[in-house]
Structure 1
């Protein structure tokens, strides 16, 4: 199979490229970073024509959640309109698009895991821009994979920040009123490759590690793995950290749809964090 990966220099995109290099069989993968501007429709079509990929994994995105509040048009350009062009171009060429989305398309008011077909209602500009991209991809029969609380070996991540703060501070205040699913980018990348190879139907899938945690829970687990006293992680609330964009309080996703691809849900977040531990860099 031939693969094209956009955003291939970022945390998830780089892990997708690594997963493809380890995949069984002959996987021909080409990754683009900033050398392909996904908002340039002509450049995107040229790349598709040159590579003739079977599967396109779109990891390119505007990811600055707070920045999207003050630059909503720019966020929509990358996360919405660019996806519309990519989705249409892939559909015309018979390529399958696997587009990465987010838990931020939900309002965060739930108390049970959001199913793949649960009503959406983003509470910030970033979420609205990502929802626009979802709708564009789905309108052309493609696949959307929502993820949440992603961390990995590249770029900034919450676990790496906690590792650094554990060395710098006696105590660290972390919120207890946001609940989600910490997800290792390498686990998600491997699942994206499995999904692309599976021939599973298009639609929405939820790509997060299993279980649930607050940011406070995750920080305590990091301290535990460091051999530090988890009691140094002090509970607080989101009100103590004023930010331009509101965050959803509940970001727990259900995973029922993986059965359509013949794949089990991803492993528990604590198990994944332990596996990721040797690869995490201090941020």
Structure 2
């Protein structure tokens, strides 16, 4: 059994992370004061930019840097990525050779720089349902195909829904959560950042909120408030489409974001909106 002296998770990568009074510098100071048999674990969330057709798309958690230190002498650094921009096929099973060409060399250069800094080549992690890591990035999944044709729909969409609804009390007083019909939606934004999308179905009584994955934790924090607003509309007996209009006409407090359009946009299906919210 090791003595966990420090376990810091969810630290944000600040502009000057080693300056005085930053979260990381405080953890470092605590670690340097320790002696004896101990383990220090630090996880830093790193925002970043991925490219597509020359356009820049920001993700609030593009990478996580995980550092383990044993007794101040043995160091392990793990780089985790939360983007499929480095793959020739995205996690929805669609080919994206141009996206790969724009981003994969950036990841390879980053791994090379980290290797030079630490004096050791990376050890690739085990393959998973998305891809097979290598010393320079990832293998081409087109050779054998991904583990699942629709990993996004099979795993990630249900997981997002579970994380979101775990934040609100259970209730039967709400709209259906899925639909096979086209949907109408509003964009939710706060402080210039898009957090997610409120939607309702054209053909049945379904409505909900889709968190924008790239916005990170903020998307889920805001989403719980919007779902409670949607539940209030349902309690008034409003149809799904009427509820969407009611939300626009009765905006909540700005802390959970604001609707930015005057009129709702349309998507051919909920699946299309889920893919959009998950990717951009």
Could you state the TM-score of these two structures normalised by the residue count of structure 1? 0.30
Name the one with the larger helix percent. Answer: 1
Q: Which has the higher contact order (CA 8 A, sep 6+)?
A: 1
Could you state the TM-score of these two structures normalised by the residue count of structure 2? 0.30
